[in-house]
Amino acid sequence: MCAKATMEEFEALLNESLEIDTPDEGSVVKGRVLAIEAGQAIIDVGYKMEGRVDLKEFANPGEAPDISVGDEVEVYLDRVENARGEAVISRDKARREAAWDRLEKAYADEERVEGAIFGRVKGGFTVDLGGAVAFLPGSQVDVRPVRDAGPLMGLKQPFQILKMDRRRGNIVVSRRAILEESRAEQRAEVIAKLAEGDVVDGVVKNITEYGAFVDLGGVDGLLHVTDMAWRRVNHPSEILSIGETIKVQIIKVNKETHRISLGIKQLQADPWDSVADKYALGSVHKGRVTNITDYGAFVELEPGVEGLVHVSEMSWTKKNIHPGKIVSTSQEVEVMVLDVDLAKRRVSLGLKQTQRNPWEVFAETHPTGTQIEGEVKNITEFGLFVGLEGDIDGMVHLSDLSWDQRGEEAIQDYRKGDVVKAVVTEVDVEKERISLSVKALENDSFSDAVDGVKRGSVVTCTVTAIEDGGIEVEYNGMKSFIRRSDLSRDRSEQRPERFQVGDKVDARVTNVDAKTRRLGLSIKAREIAEEKEAVQQYGSSDSGASLGDILGAALKSNEKG
């Protein structure tokens, strides 16, 4: 019994010893290199077990294996025994396990890790982080796109872990984050040394439509196009080229955003300091058209000094026309200074002021009564516009077209392009208005006909037509109409049919209207006037004489006369 108990106890102790001393599969163990043969290292992992590991597992990417007999190394124990009676071990897996532990701690502490780019894959590169392989996206290689990553391959450098998943074996790293952080530190250091007003050298890195970015030695500043020169610069490439070293002045530094504004023109004298002396009001200068807009044209008087010719000051005669139809870019023009505002750095210029006002010239050369000839430029509801010398127009109002026709009828005889003659009746230089008259070319037939005739005069007319409402008569070639009620003082005699065409009748003038060109006539008014005159001359009915006696006496007197 004692012997049997002793054997069982010995077996239990032996099993317990084996369980304690034999490492678990899937763990990292220490071993010693016994020999190197056939491209493999034979490693004693203890517990009377040996294993083999390829030499390449002891080499970093792109480097020779770093292993010698007698070295102590850590390996990963896959299985305790394989078919040949050896332990299945791996140096790569051991390094990977150790690396993951280290990387997880660095990721948690947001620390940088060291690694080397050793391969190219779709969308980026592979990085060895001391045993663990990470993915480096192409966008995370540098702050700018990298065309050739060759110089970076195999180079040990710091990386920032962006994401990692041990279960899936995924690690994503960034080299760009390290560079940006270093760049920010460098920018802060450079910016701390800069002060507004400093003059420094810089290299043009990039040119855009609105300016250029200048490298000041680790930090970029923006040189805006408006700060490149006192004159107008249409595009920065006119005066700068990439890679050029230039001298600039620090205009503004924002310590928080690290933005720096630069200027070149600030290093030169401001031409506006002498504008007031050079460009007096009313003075005339030559300039070059630099820009044309809908509201006018900008004219450069000298580099850095531009003035605006407003569209209203471009031409005496061309109204509501685009400035580009009057001047062209780069054209040299003569302008007059109309106003100078030093505070707003504005000069108002006039183009038309360098030429005489064509209305003034016309007024001098064509006084009232002058006969002109011109082409009908336009026909409107109120008259004709006739082209005159000096590229100006004169207007013939409807009422000035004809003596005998109404304006609406007379204008029907004219067409655009017709050449007409007229007389100048008025020139208003201030309002830029010239009045013309076509009818003034001829004498007024109405005025000739009624010359000497006044209201109350008695005229002899010839009956030309009999109508229900009265009779039409003619006097000195001018037609007039006597209404039925004006044919006689006696109501019974107010009959148009008692007259015949060709009869001569005496009528009293009741109205002379030169505006409507009408002569008012009345037989009734003549009879009443004659009666009143007879009563005054030969007595009255109150003295005992009858009206017949009085009129009879008046008629006999007339006959004798």
* pLDDT tens digits, one per residue of 454-502: 888 888 889 999 998 899 988 877 788 989 888 888 888 888 888 898 8
User: Residue 256 above 90 pLDDT?
Assistant: no
Computed over every residue of the chain, the mean pLDDT equals 81
Residue found by looking up tokens 């010693």 in the block? 32
Query: Is residue 295 very low, low, confident or very high in pLDDT (cuts 50, 70, 90)?
Result: very high
* pLDDT tens digits, one per residue of 186-228: 777 777 777 888 888 888 989 899 899 988 877 888 999 888 8
Distance in angstroms (rounded) separating the CA atoms of residues 524 and 491: 10
Question: 274-279 long-range CB contacts below 8 Å, 24 or more apart?
Answer: 275/305, 275/340, 275/342, 275/347, 276/340, 276/342, 278/302, 279/305, 279/337, 279/340, 279/347
Q: How many CB atoms lie within 10 A of CB 213?
A: 17
In three-state secondary structure terms, 151 is: helix
pLDDT in the model for residue 343? 87
Q: How many CB atoms lie within 10 A of CB 508?
A: 21
CA angle 466–471–474, rounded 5-degree value: 105
In this structure, the strands spanning 332-341 and 346-350 are: antiparallel
Distance in angstroms (rounded) separating the CA atoms of residues 507 and 474: 11
* pLDDT tens digits, one per residue of 73-90: 776 666 667 555 576 665
Query: Is residue 403 very low, low, confident or very high in pLDDT (cuts 50, 70, 90)?
Result: confident
Distance in angstroms (rounded) separating the CA atoms of residues 263 and 249: 5
pLDDT in the model for residue 558? 52
532 sits in which H/E element = helix 523-538
In this structure, the strands spanning 305-310 and 296-302 are: antiparallel
Exposed / middle / buried, residue 24 (Cβ in 10 Å: 0-12, 13-18, 19+): exposed
User: Residue 303 above 80 pLDDT?
Assistant: yes
Give 206's contacts (C-beta < 8 A, 6+ positions apart): 212, 213, 242
- pTM of the complete model beyond 0.75: no
Distance in angstroms (rounded) separating the CA atoms of residues 30 and 72: 7
Query: Is residue 544 very low, low, confident or very high in pLDDT (cuts 50, 70, 90)?
Result: very low
